[in-house]
Amino acid sequence: MSVLAEEPATGVLPPPIVVGCKDAELDTLLEKEWLLTNKIGAYASGTVVGCNTRRYHGLLVAATAPPVGRVVALSTVMEQIIAGDTTYDPATNEFPETFSPRGAVHLLEFRNDVAPTFVFRIGKMELVKEILLAEAANAAALRYTLHGGSAKLRLRPFAALRDYHVLRKADEPHQMTFETVDAGVTVQDRLRSDHVLHVISREAQFVAEPQWWRRLLYRADAARGQDGLEDLYTPGFFDYDLAEGIPCQITASLNDPLPVGFQTTMTRRRERLGRLIGSIGSQADESTRRLAGASDAFVVLRSIPNAAPSASILAGFHWFADWGRDAFIALPGLMLATKRFDEARQVFRTFANHIANGMVPSRFDNYTAAAHYNSIDTSLWFIVAAERYMAATADAAFWRETLMPAAKTILNAYNAGTLFDIRADADGLLAGGSAKTQLTWMDVKLGEKPVTSRHGKAVEVNALWYCAHRIMACRCKGLDDGAADIYAQRAEIIAPAFMRTFWNDELDCLYDCVTDGAASATLRPNQIFAVSLPYSPLSADQQAAVVRTVVEKLLTPRGPRTLAPDDAEYCRHYGGPPESRDRAYHQGTVWPWLIGALVEAVLKTDGPTPPAVKQAGRWLAWLDEHLAEAGLGFVSEIFDGDPPHAPRGCIAQAWSVGELLRAKLLLADAQKSSQRV
């Protein structure tokens, strides 16, 4: 059973999330995952019992072209404790229809701390295993400490040395080899890659004993309709003589033999997270502080050809890279709330420098770093994030030098017409796409057909369109009054056109999309942005009606559904093979990032009144409970539409964390205002 530890935190750091394992069901424990990241996009991750359940799990998943080019270098390390005539196996691995070894029976607890920590009961002794990553390098360290006696520790490292999307098979062409070196071993597949895994320990003796372990099962992959079987290679093992209370360490790194000072690295990480969490204020509650700490996982350095590395935002773990839409929706919570203003400027520059045809990149390629463009709203979210940056910093110089020129480029290109038939229509509203494109955030496509067809005029796109013009009309005053007047005039045209086009008198809410003059009354949460954004084209009564509809028809304890459950296309659960998952992705699946807009909307329409504050607080408390449910300390990408709303998708999603953190800080401000009144 998972609990949030009750002991007081050290400083501003929240206490570790503690998972008691002694009497828990193994299947339940295998659904709880930990994630450790560093500044370059490398990570370590697994389950709380140490059994990998995904191809993306590993103790060192290196970023060879930061923050991408990810390679599962060190998949796992299997331990044995030899105490007298008794051998204990703390490791746990799953194979088809069996587990071997079953080390979970020795596991007392897992602590999701600054260094993820496993505590095993070994006879009358206790073994503590801790994991850390180097802060900005492709290196990981494991530290073991024995309490209550002495014993021999045997560690067997398993190398995957593969792209993190694929699986290693012993029967496929390879040339997996190893060489013993001073204090350790190197492993390489000379046929398939130049990457070299270095596994080093100066406290142990390495014994060569190469083996293949076949058909390890990754149950999460199998449940997603993917190949879930992998073969892993081990070159041998390290033997240690463990003395009472004296730690030993094994270090793994990719391509370069890199040392990791465990205690120094942990101290620096603790101090850095402390500064980050402290930036939100000493009065923040525990879950808010936990979210502030989680925000650090998504901020990375992106390597840029012929330029210095620059900050970017990864959309989610384990498999997403930096996506523009996700970045600018998440940025206010991840960066502005935590006062990472310099890195926020770097993110804006990273994307602004790649604007083409008025379009901010939808994403950067995982392998070539090339920018891709296939989104109608990413560029508009850039402008909204720029406004939130200005509200937080009043940074007039950065507005003049970077943000205003980029925003002008976007709006001018969109008004004139750009890629994907994106253009201002005769009525002033923004239209774009075709029956074969998926340009909004509901962007799944099967073959040539979008699952959620929303081409034409989408409601949230035009709410953003109106808001962007109002932002520019305000921010350009005194700097470019001619441009400010043009943007203001366009906004005056867009607002009444928006109300005429999207208001649904029958349902007292907004249509979701208008295509070739036909309005879709499909009930979705996208309309909430016409209320929550800094500027709304709706009347106060209309805004209140939209909030009421979304709350009554779509809200769940994990956030709003993407489709009303009484719709014929509603999908109750998200799972199974890719096509099944794609069909459910935006057809009823719950997306927790939408809670940020909903909280902002209700506080805007009702004001910071005690009832509004209480209602929003209840919604956010539902998600607080989730922080110990799946990706420990993080917020998942999505949840099933139907109860019990099981977490799905990525275990840690940038805009889920960012928007929940932003909403909690908005609520805290509203509570203060309510108390003053």
Q: Report which DSSP code applies to 501.
A: H
* Alpha-carbon span 643 to 477, nearest angstrom: 50
* Alpha-carbon span 359 to 410, nearest angstrom: 6
How confident is the model at residue 6, as a pLDDT? 35
Asked whether the whole model's pTM tops 0.75, one would answer: yes
How confident is the model at residue 472, as a pLDDT? 98
* Alpha-carbon span 63 to 71, nearest angstrom: 7
How confident is the model at residue 10, as a pLDDT? 45
Q: Residue 133 belongs to what H/E stretch?
A: strand 125-133
258: which residues sit within 8 A by CB, 6+ positions away? 134, 137, 138, 139, 198, 251
- B/e letters for 312-336, b = 16+ CB within 10 Å, e = fewer, are bbbbbbbebbbbbbbbbbbbbbbbb
- Residues 456-477 pLDDT 10s: 999 999 999 999 999 999 999 9
- Residues 252-288 pLDDT 10s: 999 999 999 999 999 999 999 999 999 998 789 999 9
* Alpha-carbon span 52 to 3, nearest angstrom: 22
* Alpha-carbon span 599 to 529, nearest angstrom: 11
Both tokens of 41, joined, read 């996009």
Both tokens of 139, joined, read 């290196």
With a cut of 70, list the residues of the chain below it in pLDDT. Answer: 1-11, 676-677
Distances (CA, A) of 661 to 102, 118, 187, 598, 610: 38, 28, 42, 13, 20
